[in-house]
Structure 1
């Protein structure tokens, strides 16, 4: 039977948007993450409408959530979890 060695786990918190960054690499990653989140928010409209939310409410939620990210009103993080192991 095969076993696993060098098993590990780590989590990283990445800012969503460049409101805080330690170096240029983190700034680029934070900006890319904000861009992805904005695209995700924009794509939520059909789901929210299919769940019975009123179109006016959906438009308002999308507009406000997008503004929060664009204007960095709220400082958010995304948690990334990594796991690894070597199969021996």
Structure 2
């Protein structure tokens, strides 16, 4: 079952991510999302396709629709150097 089936997340603009304090998800979803993360990078770089990233903040779950530029060991990097910690991820879709 996808995390999105049980979590309601507010859609925000990528530029607004900096206005929220990102925190770890209640449980790690990194391993189950690993393939989707790698696919999101490929879709973003080769096809300029966007992904929907859902992550945890102190204000609750947020989601953003954007291209994923790079996957680092502990972060997703978006355009303009915006980083989302993998530990905060709740879901990823494209």
Structures share fold, TM-score greater than 0.5: no
Greater helix fraction, Structure 1 or Structure 2: 1
Greater strand fraction, Structure 1 or Structure 2: 2
